[in-house]
Every structure is written in C-alpha cells, then in structure tokens.
Amino acid sequence: MYTIAEKRSLNPTVTEMQIHAPLIANKAKPGQFIILRVDEDGERIPLTVAGVDKEKGTVKIIFQIVGATTEKLNHKNAGEAIQDFVGPLGVPTHTEGIRRVCIVGGGVGCAIAMPVAQEFHRLGAHVTSIIGFRSRDLLILEDEFRACSDKLVVMTDDGSYARSGNVTVPLKEMLEAGEKFDLIITIGPLVMMKYVTLTAKPYGIPVTVSMNPIMIDGTGMCGCCRLTLHRNGECITKFACVDGPDFNGYEVDFDEAMSRGRMYFDFERRAHEHACNLFKKAEAAE
C-alpha cells in the first residue's frame, strides 16, 4: 500500500497528489510514468511522474477526473493509501545536447510538460514554454512554468485569460520571426500535438511528442499501447510503454492514434457516471 502524503485541487477537474514511494522517487526521471491501482479490484491506469522529492520519498502525480478510476482516486484523501504504485516506467525524455527548447503543453498535458521544462532549466538550456487551456477556470501550473521558463506564453481558447487562441498561434509567430530551437516538445491532446508538428514541419525543427494511449501492463506484452510510425516508407509498430512515451512527431500516425483513443469513450463515460452515482449515494448515507 502507498500512502497519499498530500492532496490539492488544481482546478475543478484536476487534482495533484504526492504519493509516498521512496524507491520510485529515487529513480524516476522526467518523461517517465507509473501505473497505479486504487484498490484490489481497480483497473490499472498510467500517470506521468509530475515531480519527485527524494528527501521526502514522494512522487507527484497530477490527474484529470475523466473516468471511473480517476473519480475513485479523487475520493482518496491525504493519509489514506492506494493499492499499487509501480514504476518508473518508460524512457526518460532526451535532454542531452539541447540548448534551446520550446515546450508546448495543452490542458492537463501541462502536468507532463512541467517536469520536462524544469529539467531543461536545471541543465541550463534556454526554455520557451507555451501552455494552452480551454478557459481561465482550467488553468494549472502557471507559476511553476514561469519559474522555469525564460519565456512563457499562456493561451486560452475562449480568451478569458492571457492571449486568445490555440498554442500553434504563438509558435508559428516565433518561427516566422526567425526564432531557432534545437527541439520542440509538445504534450497534450493528440489533435494539438498533430498540429504543433504540422506547424513546425516547414522549418525542419525536430518535434518530440508524448504519447499516452490505452495501456494495461506497462511491459509491452498486452499490445494495447501500440502505435504506428511511418519511417523511410515503412510502417513500424512501437509500444508507448516500453519504446516511449516520447516519439518523433513527424513519424507518428496521429489519425490512427486518435481513432484508437476513441474506442472506449462511451464505455468510460458510462463507468464514470456509474461511479459518480455510487459516491453520491455513499455521501448522502453519511
């Protein structure tokens, strides 16, 4: 069992937790993830390591309440425990030799992008961060990004905070103005990562995307997290859990990935609604 050391709400649908897991905290690097189960009967879900505190032995996770399991996890409080917490898994984000980097995060994907930006800042790279949200109410981690970025641009789709528009707008402006980056890293919804990649392509700047498909065992054996890459005229199958989660954005078949990601949407929605009703009944009984 793994104890929840701290818990805080970042916005109405996103929660941050610090989980006491000293062995993982000692080894985890930016870009890696863990797989957890809330209880013995729970499903396994992957969550990116959003930070570690080696002295306290804690691992930070940030999750959006979108399904039954995240709903159940969100009902846990500090001092309570979760069943399983396995990691670190996946390949850490490549940082060697990168002196100028642009980090583009969208929505809860900013929770994954933040430790990557912090690591590049720690290594002395020049960090430009662009983060986007649907509205001001969904904004998270602005202060954390500001602290580790040489330049920060905040976007909201509805214009309720900072600049209005999506994250490709300032990225295109920067590239058209002649700004140079050794690497662009984009983390967020698949459609956002697709268009960030398309925006960068005419300028020949390498783009890394962080893929988070359906995942079960985290060892590559189940095959659920498979992705298709197009490389040198060939279709190559890779597995996000062991080969990723970072991939060359120019190689990823985004349309296939988006299609696969929608497969269980209705099932997850029904499970979430069922879980919500169960918690409401339990709270009412108390």
Q: What is the mean pLDDT of residues 222-235?
A: 89
Please report the pLDDT score of residue 79 as a whole number. Answer: 97
Please report the pLDDT score of residue 187 as a whole number. Answer: 95
- Domain residue ranges in the chain: 2-89, 93-210
Q: What is the mean pLDDT of residues 168-189?
A: 97
Place of tokens 């985890």: 28
Answer yes or no: is pLDDT of 66 > 60: yes
Q: How far apart are CA 275 and CA 282, in angstroms?
A: 11
Backbone angles phi, psi at 274, to 5 degrees: -65, -45
- Residues 2-89, CATH architecture: Beta Barrel (2.40)
Enter the DSSP assignment of 117: H
pLDDT bin (cut points 50, 70, 90) of residue 204 is very high
Residue 61 CA, chain-centre distance (Å), reads 10
Please state which CATH number belongs to domain 93-210: 3.40.50.80
Q: Is 192 exposed, middle or buried (0-12, 13-18, 19+ CB in 10 A)?
A: buried
Helix (H, G, I), strand (E, B) or coil at 14: strand
Give 77-104 pLDDT, tens digit per residue.
999 999 999 999 999 999 999 999 999 9
Helix (H, G, I), strand (E, B) or coil at 179: coil
CA geometry: angle at 133 spanning 244 and 31, to 5°?
A: 20
Single pTM value for the model: 0.87
Q: How far apart are CA 152 and CA 104, in angstroms?
A: 10
Q: How far apart are CA 154 and CA 105, in angstroms?
A: 10
Q: Could you list the beta-strand ranges (E) of 93-204.
A: 100-106, 126-133, 151-156, 163-164, 183-187
Q: What is the mean pLDDT of residues 211-226?
A: 80
Answer yes or no: is pLDDT of 205 > 90: yes
User: In this structure, are residues 186 and 197 in contact, taking their beta carbons and an 8 Å threshold?
Assistant: yes
Please report the pLDDT score of residue 15 as a whole number. Answer: 96
User: In this structure, are residues 26 and 32 in contact, taking their beta carbons and an 8 Å threshold?
Assistant: no
